[in-house]
């Protein structure tokens, strides 16, 4: 009996491992945005604190706070940065698969088939694509899944023990420590529990939850405000602002629908009676509420709908009770032909779920060319390795591309967009701020080139990104920088590289950058053309 119980989860893990070996490319470098967190984790592990540039004031640009801290701990134990980040993500993905299966089987009392298919949907989905790209998304999804499991147990147990309420609150707190929006998700889960149990029966649960968040969460909040100087993560000030982002809201709902589409039928069936309608509405609270919360920030950096991915295990652990009366069982006294037909139908159902889940890998990036390759070769990765030769010389790069180049070069970097710079996030980029650093290299991405000059109209300059790059361009030209390269496979989408003239390695760097042959443009993977030509020293 024990072996029979262990067989489905073991089979799920085996399938996930086989899928990883056969279909996931772990040879790729980090995705641009993932490299930012890796820089923070590396600096923390080296004992410099949570800083963007060593020796400067701490800055919370790594919004996956607890994931960054745990990654740094494993780096400190001897793992490389890549091994730590990917290892945590991989382990979290496998554990989440087990939680989805166990919760459906033991908490929801779903059939082995439904529980297995739920785990299978997660096993062959996009979770490992996040791991391959070095994102900590599965780590956040694991915490969310754990919190929801405790929430489901609280819904079922009228006389719930204190330890269960405490576990729910602590797991919710961990979810919030991993990513700040985890606080919203955990609070929505609490609301779902209260809706199902009723307010009177939820007083102790609410008290425990609020106490944990006020005492432990409050202590963390005070510490982080004192440590970083601001109460919220730095990117929030840049991506949030004071406006509502309706495009993010629409995108978030569509992402959630796409990722969870096979479970939608179950939620529709949930409205068939008054009893199941209440359960359906309660289960929809964390799903729709969390998806709607992204109206507060812009949608940039949302690789593969990673901001909404935590809702996938939640939906997978919620659908089975909504179709309880439709539980699968073999009819009695089936003929051989009937058994064959049922078996074939089951195979096709499973295959359809597997294919749909895998198919989400086709939507990881907007410029993705194939479902098997999320992003192409990236010249920023090669540039970072080239600049690493000059590491430790105190050189500074001012760049809009704050991922691969700063991480692999090891240079001090000004993130001119402000996600990793507190001054810029709160005050915007100024000429005086650039001049304070006098960067050796100025690099930026925009949609013009020497062949297609920028149009300096009032409307264009009002666009924050365009206005920022023009400010960088004008600063470089006013301060006698050399335009070493304008890389792109089209003159309408390029990476500019300006190099200052008056430092020891300037001539050599100008030569190396201007003659670089392996700068592949990230959106197409094609070899770039240097539209600047070869500049004179």
Please, which pLDDT band fits residue 536 given cuts at 50, 70 and 90?
very low
Q: How far apart are CA 255 and CA 467, in angstroms?
A: 30
Alpha carbon distance 498, 354 (integer Å):
48
Residue 190 CA to chain centroid, in angstroms? 24
How far is 299 from 74, CA to CA, in rounded Å? 30
Whether residue 440 contacts residue 503, with contact meaning beta carbons closer than 8 Å, is answered with: yes
pLDDT at 297 over 80: yes
| CA 95 – CA 142 distance, rounded (Å) | 7
Tokens 């710079």 appear where? Answer: 421
The whole-number pLDDT of residue 528 equals 94
User: Tell me: the pLDDT tens digits for 439-479?
Assistant: 999 999 999 999 999 999 999 999 999 999 999 999 999 99
Dump pLDDT digits (tens) for 38-85: 999 999 999 999 999 999 999 999 889 999 999 999 999 999 999 999
pLDDT at 326: 55
Q: Would you call 363 exposed, middle or buried from its count of C-beta atoms within 10 A (0-12, 13-18, 19+)?
A: middle
* Average pLDDT score over the chain: 93
Complete DSSP assignment for 284-310 = HHHHHHHHHGGGGS--TT-GGGTTTTT
pLDDT of residue 318 exceeding 60, the answer is: yes
At 537 the pLDDT is: 43
Q: Where do the domains of the chain lie? A: 2-325+357-363, 379-530
Task: Tally Cβ neighbours within 10 Å of residue 387.
Answer: 23
pLDDT of residue 106: 94
Q: Is the pLDDT of residue 237 over 80?
A: yes
Inter-helix orientation angle 81-102/65-76, to 10°: 120
Confidence of residue 517 (pLDDT cuts 50, 70, 90): very high
DSSP 29: P
pLDDT reading at 119 higher than 90 = yes
Q: How far apart are CA 503 and CA 16, in angstroms?
A: 52
Identify the sign of the CA torsion 341, 342, 343, 345: positive
Contacts of residue 161, defined as CB under 8 A and 6 or more positions apart, other chains included, come to none
Mean pLDDT throughout 104-114? 92
Predicted local confidence at residue 314, as pLDDT: 98
Average the pLDDT over each of 82-91, 266-275, 281-290 and give the range with the smallest value: 266-275
Residue 511 in this model has a pLDDT that exceeds 60: yes
Average pLDDT over residues 276-297: 95
Taking only the tens place, the pLDDT of each residue in 364-396 is 998 888 888 888 889 999 999 999 999 999 999
- pLDDT bucket at 329, cuts 50 / 70 / 90: low
What percentage of the chain's residues is helix, strand, coil (to nearest 5)?
A: 60, 5, 30
pLDDT of residue 252: 96
Highest mean pLDDT among 70-74, 350-354, 426-430: 70-74
- pLDDT the model gives residue 336: 78
- 332-337: long-range contacts (C-beta < 8 A, 24 or more apart)? none
| Buried b or exposed e, range 392-417, using 16+ CB within 10 angstroms | eeebbbbbbbbbbbbbbbbbbbbbbb
| 390: exposed, middle or buried (Cβ count in 10 Å: 0-12, 13-18, 19+) | buried
Sign of CA dihedral 420, 230, 307, 28: positive
Highest-pLDDT range among 157-166, 338-347, 438-447: 438-447
Is 535 a residue whose pLDDT tops 50? Answer: no
* Cβ-contact 280, 322 below 8 angstroms: yes
Residue 75 confidence (pLDDT): 98
Q: How far apart are CA 503 and CA 441, in angstroms?
A: 11
Q: Is the pLDDT of residue 235 over 50?
A: yes
Helices (H), 270-360: 274-292, 311-316, 319-322, 336-359
Query: Is the confidence at residue 300, as pLDDT, over 90?
Result: no
């Amino acid at each position: 009996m024990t072996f029979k119980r262990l067989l489905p989860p073991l089979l799920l893990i085996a399938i996930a491992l086989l899928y990883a070996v056969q279909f996931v490319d772990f040879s790729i470098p980090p995705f641009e945005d993932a490299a930012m967190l890796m820089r923070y984790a590396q600096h923390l592990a080296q004992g410099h604190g949570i800083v963007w540039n060593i020796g400067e004031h701490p800055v919370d640009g790594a919004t996956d706070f607890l994931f960054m801290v745990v990654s740094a701990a494993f780096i400190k134990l001897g793992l490389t940065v890549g091994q730590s980040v990917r290892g945590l993500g991989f382990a979290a993905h496998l554990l989440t698969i087990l939680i989805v299966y166990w919760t459906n089987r033991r908490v929801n009392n779903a059939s082995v088939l439904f529980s297995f298919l739920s785990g299978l949907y997660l096993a062959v989905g996009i979770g490992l694509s996040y791991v391959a790209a070095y994102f900590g998304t599965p780590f956040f999804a694991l915490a969310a899944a754990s919190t929801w499991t405790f929430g489901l147990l609280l819904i079922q147990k009228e006389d719930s023990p204190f330890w269960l309420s405490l576990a729910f609150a602590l797991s919710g707190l961990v979810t919030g420590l991993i990513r700040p929006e985890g606080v919203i998700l955990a609070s929505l889960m609490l609301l779902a529990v209260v809706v199902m149990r009723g307010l009177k029966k939820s007083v102790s649960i609410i008290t425990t939850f609020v106490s944990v968040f006020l005492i432990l969460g409050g202590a963390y909040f005070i510490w982080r405000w004192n440590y970083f100087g601001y109460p919220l993560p730095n990117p929030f000030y840049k991506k949030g602002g004071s406006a509502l982002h309706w495009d993010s809201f629409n995108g978030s709902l569509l992402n959630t629908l796409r990722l969870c589409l096979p479970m939608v039928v179950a939620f529709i069936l949930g409205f068939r009676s008054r009893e199941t309608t209440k359960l359906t509405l309660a289960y929809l609270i964390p799903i729709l509420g969390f998806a709607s919360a992204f109206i507060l920030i812009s949608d940039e950096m949302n690789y593969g709908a990673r901001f909404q991915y935590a809702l996938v295990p939640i939906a997978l652990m919620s659908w089975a009770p909504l179709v309880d009366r439709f539980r699968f069982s073999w009819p009695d006294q089936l003929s051989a032909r009937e058994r064959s037909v049922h078996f074939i139908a089951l195979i096709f159902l499973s295959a359809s779920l597997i294919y749909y889940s895998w198919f989400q890998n086709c939507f990881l990036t907007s410029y993705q060319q194939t479902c098997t390759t999320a992003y192409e070769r990236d010249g920023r990765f090669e540039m970072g390795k080239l600049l690493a030769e000059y590491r430790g010389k105190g050189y500074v790069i001012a760049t809009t591309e704050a991922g691969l180049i700063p991480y692999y070069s090891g240079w001090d970097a000004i993130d001119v967009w402000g996600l990793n710079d507190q001054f810029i996030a709160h005050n915007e980029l100024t000429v005086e701020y650039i001049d304070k650093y006098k960067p050796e290299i100025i690099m930026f991405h925009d949609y013009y080139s020497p062949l297609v000059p920028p149009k300096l109209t009032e409307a264009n300059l009002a666009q924050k990104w365009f206005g920022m790059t023009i400010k960088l361009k004008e600063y470089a030209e006013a301060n006698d920088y050399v335009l070493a390269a304008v890389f792109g496979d089209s003159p309408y989408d390029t990476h500019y590289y300006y190099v200052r003239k008056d430092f020891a390695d300037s001539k050599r760097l100008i030569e190396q950058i201007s003659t670089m042959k392996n700068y592949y443009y990230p959106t197409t993977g094609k070899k770039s053309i240097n539209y600047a030509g070869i500049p004179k020293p």
